[in-house]
Structure 1
Amino acid sequence: MTDDVLTRTNGPIGHISLNRPKALHALTLEMCHTMSAALMEWEKDDAIEAIILDHDDGRGFCAGGDIAFLRDSALNDGGVSGRKFFHDEYQLNHQMFTYPKPIVAFMDGITMGGGVGISLPAKFRVATENTRFAMPETGIGLFPDVGGGWYLSRIGGRIGQFLALTGARLEGAEALWTGLATHYVPSTMIDDLKARIAERPGRIAGILSEPVGTPPDARIKNNADKIAKHFSSDRYEDILASLETAIADGDEWAQKERDTLGTKSPQTCKVALRQLAISAGLSDFAENMRMEYRIASRVLTRPDFAEGVRAVITDKTHDPKWNPATPEDVTEELLDAIFAPLPSKEEWKSL
């Protein structure tokens, strides 16, 4: 157990608060284990009717996973401890996805990577004006994991593919518009809403819907037609070519997004497109997590991850040297190897 997660009960509510403010509540392996243990205990407790998930002090909600730890594993133990982290984190993601009691996740702040993995399984996903939702993994040589393939592939209009490739950040109203959030509330009302949920846990949907009024305009919808057009293909080269054509016609939005993609790992952009294409056809979330664990096990120790973290997070030079360097160099054979089944004893298993 760890003090980086606070677990407690409030009448019929099991309450989990992330409590690692200096790291924007980024998840460690111990935090995942603490959350999972609490959920197991409350699942068997008939007195607990619903779960609230939030962050305690400081900015939040959750900025992702422990990237420094994962890079250290990639460089120093052949990815062994990193794979353990992914394995158990994905077990928590699946546990929450299949949890029999309603979970209310308050995404009041940065909600990225691992934070997406623990908020999107919740039945109620509450965004605020502070929400900044993103899956920015392609910028550090990773991919949108923690169930990202499942969730992003189920957003209409190819918006999920756009988010997966570019790492674009959504504000709270945009998260609501895309369906990634189920509700939008002003952050000043959160404490009152939590108290009301504790009083009437059977009326969560009504409580969250009553006080909000009209959310702000979702800016992303203004570019929805362009996203649907330019990100329509599952072939990365086609997306780049479509943007290039629009750039030649003077489209500044296309230029901005093409420039963004130029900073991303070609390998993991192609991985993300294949991942979402496969996820869209799956009917079992566990099968999705099994696939994502296979990808994570391979990508963790490939060159782009350690190099991406160095350039973007550790040294902050923002000059990653990707390997392979171009989309054309990322072969189908390489992708097949990344997605291939693991030895049976190494495959991901749910709790």
Structure 2
Amino acid sequence: MAKTDLIGGELWEQYSEKVADRMNNPRNFGELTEAEAQKLGGRLVIANEGAESCGDTVRLYWIVDEKTDTIKKATFKSFGCGTAIAATDMMAEMCVGKTVDEAAKITNLDVEHALRDEEDKAAVPPQKMHCSVMAYEVIKRATSIYRNVDISTLEEADIVCECARVTLQTIEDVIRINDLKTVEEISDYTKAGVFCKSCIQPGGHEKRKYYLVDILARVRAEIESERHPEKALVDDFSKLSVVKQIKAIEAVLDEHVRPALARDGGGVELEDVQSVEDGLVKVSLCYQGACKGCAGSAAGTLTFVEQTLRMKLSDKIRGVVV
């Protein structure tokens, strides 16, 4: 059956063929029994997980070789939407052959990525991304049962959205992977902030440790800093670590200084970066090629380099030639 037969409306094109196929023909649907476990020489583990927000539930079955902790077989049963069925089916398949500890590291992002037809095209619409979270949660539940430990010892400590059980790591990952720029986009991809909305920003009916607006601002700043290290910090350049200062200075030298000097056969190398009094940053430079020993280097070239660094990074930079 084609996915057009399974999903109506304009959204159907946003689902991958793999998702549509597994909705209709799950490979790993069904129960496992103690008799099957004994036949395979393993231990039967049964775990249940549900999402109160949407009413979906899933039951995961594992047969685990206790000598090696390897999952020999995995199946599931589910009450939920087609996306949840497809995600859980793929999740069960991904568990087979892995140790319990390796399976516990599978995330909902891993499941979604495995369901893609194309590397750079999401398998499901962003508003359905939350349907794969339950697959991630039921693995944790099965692991806790197998290990005979409380699930709280396995859960991510940093839960941002309690309603949708979305972690800080998941939110940071989807922002980076999908280059998200708004809180609304985060909610579309993860369902964080969709329900009680307390995690969106301060002032909701429940106080939260993390808020989406703050996470987004921080991760976006990190992304921009990585993409444009020369713009890393203009106002607070002196507060950067020495390593980050060096990276930012080198980026400015590569883009704005060295090409200009190279046209006249010259060059410049960064020798040292030191923080001095009053927030000033001393940048020690060494001239190369035609610039080395040039009478104009002490004044003209140094002025050019220093002014460029001050304009691009901070007016607290002072250049010296060594």
Q: TM-score, normalised by structure 2?
A: 0.26
Of Structure 1 and Structure 2, which has the larger fraction of its residues in helix? 1
Q: Which has the higher contact order (CA 8 A, sep 6+)?
A: 1
Please tell me whether Structure 1 or Structure 2 has the larger radius of gyration of its CA atoms.
2
Of Structure 1 and Structure 2, which has the larger fraction of its residues in strand? 2
Q: TM-score, normalised by structure 1?
A: 0.24
